Chains A and B, each alone.
Chain A
């Protein structure tokens, strides 16, 4: 597999073409905006929380294939997870895309997120993959200002 094929894996292309949970949410408990001023990617994350769990999650926005797929897969994977599980997944995901770990095998809990392992060969695209995760963190923490990757 070439590095490009490693970056644009089928699951990423699929989620970028047909993003899941891509809509605004009525009466969310939390929402937060994320913006990458370097490329103009802009996303909003909406959450409904039940106790400490993410009962529902959706997103809206525009960005490249990597950031859009990241948002789509994030919403799929986090539904029903606790806040602590979400934080732990962000850490694992971050290590994966920055090349600190090597994806499937070592980190089975990643599931579809393992498709982002190719990002580590493209350092300038790490922010595309992580923007929506930073936005999620802002939403979970009730942060008002727009999340960035800086």
Chain B
């Protein structure tokens, strides 16, 4: 058992939680040795993108240095190797989400593309004039705008379920908004701006009781929680590789097989067809029907390495460590006079959004940056959330399992420094 001062135990049932050696996992991330403005990097912008372990960087390199070829095309060895990894990684994504079938995993560029895919295929087929799509008031722009575009095209209406002052979805209001005209409910598993974890199982049960399918934006959930799509019961689940310690440009959409099979294709091109003549094209089977053109093969190599790495560290260990670190950070930040934390849900992952009395988030961000501390400042692509809490912008510190108590102490000291500059 690790006994370094950097080891944090969760406050509850500490003895049952395996020790987590943060010092050792930090060694896996080359970027954590970087200096910023002459100071050690303190990376607290993990909800924007996560850092990459050496194994992910090596996997991308391995594709270009040894296996570079297109997939599903060549009879030559390199193509065979690349195709093998491309498909074995799909099975890893399947296990990662506990999907029933690897064909239910569609590679996409990221969560945004996944949501647009569903809007443009499932949505265009099933949503008609007068219909409704239900989202929540805590959604990221990427789970708002694709539905607005669809509603505008079809003459449908976007309904928004409200959140309370803690930043939690008001379930009874959500339930009331599920109507006979609702064709889809699209909800975040975890809010990027507030850290709120939504009760997805309950949401799915409410929606399914009325025959309404549910899409879950899982971008902020998969780096922190063990996700089981069969247990959640959701119909679609989307995530981005880059937020889960993998590369940018790759993500996955899970969709129930019967839904995917009934959906029209997304983009047209190579690989998504089984035969083409000028008179008639026959589309490929799922998931290839949705994967037109040469995919991001190197990124799939990277994603596979990221999921292997996460499996190795253990999402259970990660969740308990982050839970304890979040409690520590919340305490450290909220005791600073003039700080107001935005988003105080009872179920939260490692996001601390806050405002400082009389000091704009951007000024906070600039001063923290000079201390080597990377945080996000602004509206976090969730302007309606900012409006709900009556703030133009917040400072957001978002945690990953490689963050430490010392880094949180540095953040708190940085905030004190901001206050000193502004007197």
Spell out A's residues near B (CB within 8 Å). 3-4, 7-8, 13, 17, 38-42, 62-66, 68, 122, 124-125, 128
Given the known inter-chain contacts A8-B421, A40-B386, A40-B392, please indicate yes or no for A65 contacting B367, CB distance below 8 A: no
Shortest beta-carbon distance, A22 to chain B, in Å?
15
- Indicate if the CB atoms of A4 and B422 lie closer than 8 Å: no
Shortest beta-carbon distance, B355 to chain A, in Å?
12
Shortest beta-carbon distance, A29 to chain B, in Å?
29
Shortest beta-carbon distance, A143 to chain B, in Å?
24
**A39 to B386 alpha-carbon distance, docked (Å):** 12
- Indicate if the CB atoms of A65 and B359 lie closer than 8 Å: yes
Shortest beta-carbon distance, B390 to chain A, in Å?
11
Beyond A40-B379, A40-B383, A64-B360, 7 additional pairs, beta carbon < 8 A = A8-B363, A8-B421, A13-B422, A38-B378, A39-B361, A64-B362, A65-B422
Total A-B pairs in contact (CB under 8 Å)?
Answer: 45
- On chain B, the residues within 8 Å of A8 by CB distance are 363, 421-422
**A17 to B360 alpha-carbon distance, docked (Å):** 11
- On chain B, the residues within 8 Å of A65 by CB distance are 359-360, 363, 422
- Indicate if the CB atoms of A39 and B362 lie closer than 8 Å: yes
Shortest beta-carbon distance, B228 to chain A, in Å?
37
- Indicate if the CB atoms of B370 and A63 lie closer than 8 Å: no
**A42 to B392 alpha-carbon distance, docked (Å):** 9
Q: Which of A3, A7, A63, A122 contacts B360 (CB 8 A)?
A: A63
Quick one: CB contact mask for B346-371 with A, threshold 8 Å, 1 for yes? 00000000000011111100110010
- Indicate if the CB atoms of B392 and A62 lie closer than 8 Å: yes
Spell out B's residues near A (CB within 8 Å). 358-363, 366-367, 370, 377-379, 383, 386, 392-393, 421-423
**A32 to B378 alpha-carbon distance, docked (Å):** 23
Q: Which of B363, B379, B383 contacts A64 (CB 8 A)?
A: B363
- Indicate if the CB atoms of A13 and B423 lie closer than 8 Å: yes
Residue contacts A-B, CB under 8 angstroms, 21 given: A3-B370, A4-B367, A8-B421, A8-B422, A13-B422, A17-B358, A38-B378, A39-B377, A39-B393, A40-B378, A40-B383, A40-B386, A40-B393, A41-B392, A65-B359, A65-B363, A66-B362, A66-B363, A122-B366, A125-B366, A128-B362
Interface centre among A42, A63, A68 (most CB of B within 10 A): A63
**A84 to B392 alpha-carbon distance, docked (Å):** 34
**A62 to B391 alpha-carbon distance, docked (Å):** 10
- On chain B, the residues within 8 Å of A17 by CB distance are 358
- On chain B, the residues within 8 Å of A39 by CB distance are 361-362, 377-378, 393
The 7 tightest CB contacts between A and B, nearest first, are A64-B360, A64-B362, A40-B392, A65-B363, A64-B363, A40-B393, A39-B378
- Indicate if the CB atoms of A4 and B362 lie closer than 8 Å: no
Shortest beta-carbon distance, A13 to chain B, in Å?
7
- Indicate if the CB atoms of A4 and B393 lie closer than 8 Å: no
| Chain A, residue nearest B364 (CB) | A64
Interface centre among B360, B392, B422 (most CB of A within 10 A): B360
- Indicate if the CB atoms of B379 and A4 lie closer than 8 Å: no
- On chain B, the residues within 8 Å of A3 by CB distance are 370
- Indicate if the CB atoms of A4 and B392 lie closer than 8 Å: no
| Chain A, residue nearest B392 (CB) | A40
Shortest beta-carbon distance, B409 to chain A, in Å?
20
- On chain A, the residues within 8 Å of B423 by CB distance are 13
- On chain B, the residues within 8 Å of A42 by CB distance are 392
- Indicate if the CB atoms of B370 and A4 lie closer than 8 Å: yes
- On chain B, the residues within 8 Å of A4 by CB distance are 366-367, 370, 421
- On chain A, the residues within 8 Å of B367 by CB distance are 4
**A10 to B363 alpha-carbon distance, docked (Å):** 15
Shortest beta-carbon distance, A99 to chain B, in Å?
17
Shortest beta-carbon distance, A125 to chain B, in Å?
6
**A42 to B386 alpha-carbon distance, docked (Å):** 14
**A63 to B362 alpha-carbon distance, docked (Å):** 9
| Chain A, residue nearest B383 (CB) | A40
Shortest beta-carbon distance, B349 to chain A, in Å?
24
**A8 to B366 alpha-carbon distance, docked (Å):** 11
| Chain A, residue nearest B421 (CB) | A8
| Chain A, residue nearest B371 (CB) | A4
- On chain B, the residues within 8 Å of A7 by CB distance are 366
**A64 to B360 alpha-carbon distance, docked (Å):** 5
- On chain B, the residues within 8 Å of A66 by CB distance are 362-363
- On chain A, the residues within 8 Å of B359 by CB distance are 65
| Chain B, residue nearest A63 (CB) | B360
**A39 to B363 alpha-carbon distance, docked (Å):** 11
Shortest beta-carbon distance, B356 to chain A, in Å?
12
- On chain A, the residues within 8 Å of B360 by CB distance are 63-65, 68
**A4 to B358 alpha-carbon distance, docked (Å):** 18
- On chain A, the residues within 8 Å of B361 by CB distance are 39, 64
**A65 to B361 alpha-carbon distance, docked (Å):** 10
Shortest beta-carbon distance, A42 to chain B, in Å?
8
- On chain B, the residues within 8 Å of A62 by CB distance are 392
Interface centre among A62, A65, A66, A122 (most CB of B within 10 A): A65
**A84 to B374 alpha-carbon distance, docked (Å):** 42
- On chain A, the residues within 8 Å of B358 by CB distance are 17
